[in-house]
Structure 1
Amino acid sequence: MVLNFTKTDSIPVLPKRQNNLNKFSTYIMLSNQNNQLALQWKHQPSLQRNLKLYEEKHQEFSNLFCHQDKGIDIANFWRKVAFDESQLIATWEPSNKTQLAYEHLASYFEEKCYWAAKDLCKEPNANSWEEYLCIARLLVYNPLRLKEILVNYNFESANIDTYISKILTNHIKFSAEVNRFSRWRLLYKKIDKELIEALKVFGIIEPEISLIVFARKYFKQVYLINKVKNPTRITGKKWIAPEEEDFLQSAQCYNVEKVLPTAPHEVFVNSNKVTAKQIQDWMEVCIKALESYPISILPKFSLDALQLDGFEVKSELQVAEIEWEKISSTEDTREQGFLANQANSILSEQVQSMKLDDRKILLLYYGFGLNQKQLADRLGMNQSTISRYLTKSTIKLLEAIAKISQPQRWVKQYVRRWLENEYHAPVHSDLIQAALVSAIKKLVKEEREILQLYYGEQMDEIKIADQLGISLDEIATTLTRARNVLQQKVMQEINIWIKEYLEKWLGNYSKSLLKVVLKNEAKLGKKELKLEEQISLLEIYIQSQLY
């Protein structure tokens, strides 16, 4: 539920949280409703999952959780979990239970932050409510500071709600009086990764995110010189708001730098020059996004925050499968899985059909990391012979993979489709698209300019010829040449990925054979074997196989 401004003041109404699940798993989100600031509660799925887990597995918590008037008691429960010095973890509990306990408390204290900020706004000469709210939230979402506060809590003197409200009020007063807090300092200090994360949750999408982050880069430079390092500014005083001249200078820097190859692709392909007003609007969006989103306020200590940044934990056995997806031209995951299985099957057949020496050299080289000299000494061959065998075997396997992926059949169409549909806002996590962006930056100036006019501004060839004063034939030739360069770049990258995939596959294949050998040895009662013994056993195993 979202409500707009009250009639008595300009502070938006905070909707009530109806149950304990919401009270301990949501945070305040600022939004615009009919051009007015409004508040709503945003769910954190990780906290919801944790609450349901404890409700199911922990009897004491379950008894508290079913009563909607037990918010204070539930807060004290999470305080005990956070302060559990033994850190004993039940088999069902998450390994990061302490961290989650602090996040539940911060979520619960969101309402206290709102009311402390609102009450202080009633005083004469008060600062803005948004500033007070951000000061309070910065405190409760800092687990180190929150721990310091809760250590001193005495449940006999006051309940935890009253205690936290008093702490927040005093903290806001102190921070505001000594001018320690500034929304412009918040904007200046946050790193790009946190800002991007906050903008995404705030509803901003590409390519605007890249434009905003690029604009902040130059705003920070101007603001640092004109305001932060200004000789007239007293050290320790609040970071003051920028002026129109600061935004104007930022826009000038932006427009000069946007045409350089070092500028982000999304910035370069946006032909419009930005104005001082646009820079100012973007910076306000940044501040609101950072003030709204708690994960952008608190330190990066949670797995959820890492996942939002695109970080994933992968096991070693998953690597080859993930690498294979790079060279697949289809978006159908079932077909990708089929291609991966097909590659595994064909490569296995190819290795098994090789002569004994070829197979042994290949598996020892990729499976144990033996170099060519070590292999030559071990097998009684010349190093040149080892090199020739490796080259011949590797080429044979690479050709087998190439027959599956067939990049020569789909790369040309892929590049054309990407230029037409995704040129403005490429997906940088897609390695093929990232390779295309990199290749565009390496084109000569004339090729980049014509590509930008044709695909970026959707200008036809006649208008481009008129604007640049060149013939239609030159336009067509340049476009064809640029597309060919991009296609070659993609083909080069695919060849690299295929080679990387093959190396990982051979390593995993060798290890899988070794596991079979070691398993058989373990059945015979033999203990852990040294590397040299493992290599010898694998050689014997390979030689014993009849295909």
Structure 2
Amino acid sequence: MHPRQEITEMFSTFVQLESDRFSKWLIDIKLRRSIQNCLEYSQKVPNSENFWALYWHKHWQEQSHSLARMHMSAYLQEPSYWTAKKTIARFIHSQYSLADYFQMANAEIETILKNFNPKKSSSLKAYATMAIPSRLKDILRQRKEADICTNWALLRKVSKKQFLEALSQAGLSRTVIAQYRLAWACFKELYVQNQPGGTKALPGTERQLWEAIVNLYNRERQTQLTQPTAQCTREKIEQWLTQAAIYMRAYLYPPISSLNLAISEDDATTTLDLPDLSSDSLIAEMIAQEDTQNRQNQQSQIQAVLLKALQNLEAKTQEILKLYYQQGLTQPQIVQRLQMSQPTVSRQLLKARESLLAALIQWSQDTLNISVTCNLVKDMSTALEEWLKVKYGESS
């Protein structure tokens, strides 16, 4: 395939799923025309996907091109699809389909673009390939927490900014939002959480709690609300807060609907004969050789970073690692071999892993501009453990 044709397709095509499987690529006519015009008027520009990814990302940041967001969405279809496919493969029983996971991943593109820093990483796709799975894991964990969270517990957890944005997104008027906000503020002031779980009403019984909330609201409304309102009842306060919790869930964790691709011009699309992504191989034919080389370079860099961090460890710590990973000795056996205490051996192993993990995280932040999350640290820790087994296994 000609390089310019390949660039055109990367920035103008979208995945279509049918029966929860990859079906075909759809090309957006307007996006194709846009990228073709750019290529035509930029004859001296290199035919590099990284160049055009950074080009459209810059326009997206500056909001100087109305199609930049759509070009970026098309470009990141592949990492979104593979994230969805690998995610669904992890769960035997899941309430979500491949299309659901794919839509979740696509919904995070705005966040991925916002967090990507071209000064730290030249490859947007490499960054997205690591960042999208991390974002999806966080979303799934939060959704699970929200599912088992009561309305009252949810309202206690959210911030004022989140609460107001949820009401605004629901389309409520300023007057109604002000009433909801005051009711929520009174609720948070008087409703406290018990230890270690559940809720406890103060002061005293549940009936007294709601009476206190209503009384506080009716006092505060006279100074907190700009427009005069009638006194409120317990039933009305509960109704407002229950509805606010519904708005909050819809704002934080939007319901998954069937995948609908955004078409930019009169639903003008055409089917494109591109490589089938249903192959088990993660290296689809459409991935540029340049991107493959980038991943190989990153693997080499990670190897170098870990080897350097390993060499910087104390000699005794390196010896303990060899006995543990290369010879397969248990900690009690290492204690006997080196005549050291059990706490010392355990502490040295933990310290070594922490040092190597810190080096790996630092490299990810500096090179790929990756935002470190708890899930990402867990993934890196697992990968590090596998690396140590392989590294010392090769030396045995």
TM-score, normalisation: structure 2: 0.35
Higher radius of gyration, 1 or 2: 1
Q: Which has the higher contact order (CA 8 A, sep 6+)?
A: 2
